[in-house]
Amino acid sequence: MNKIDELIKHVKEADAIIVGAGSGMSNAAGMDFWYSASPPIYEAYEVFL
């Protein structure tokens, strides 16, 4: 069994998978960061800005 097959086996048998990730993962998915100058943040926190 190669490493990929072993990984697939463990993933299929797992009850849950924990992913520890930094901002790069959400950035790769195209998400805005809360601290960026994005319109939704300005709209939601207008009274504080």
- For residue range 1-47, list pLDDT tens digits in order: 799 999 999 999 999 999 887 767 777 777 666 666 678 778 888 88
Q: State the Cα–Cα distance between residues 13 and 25, nearest whole angstrom.
A: 24
23 closest CA partner among 34, 13, 37: 34
pTM here is 0.43
Q: For residue range 23-32, what is the model confidence (pLDDT) as tens digits?
A: 677 777 776 6
Q: State the Cα–Cα distance between residues 32 and 39, nearest whole angstrom.
A: 10
Q: State the Cα–Cα distance between residues 38 and 30, nearest whole angstrom.
A: 13
Q: Within 13 Å, how many C-alpha atoms sit on residue 21's CB side? A: 10
Residue type, 6: E
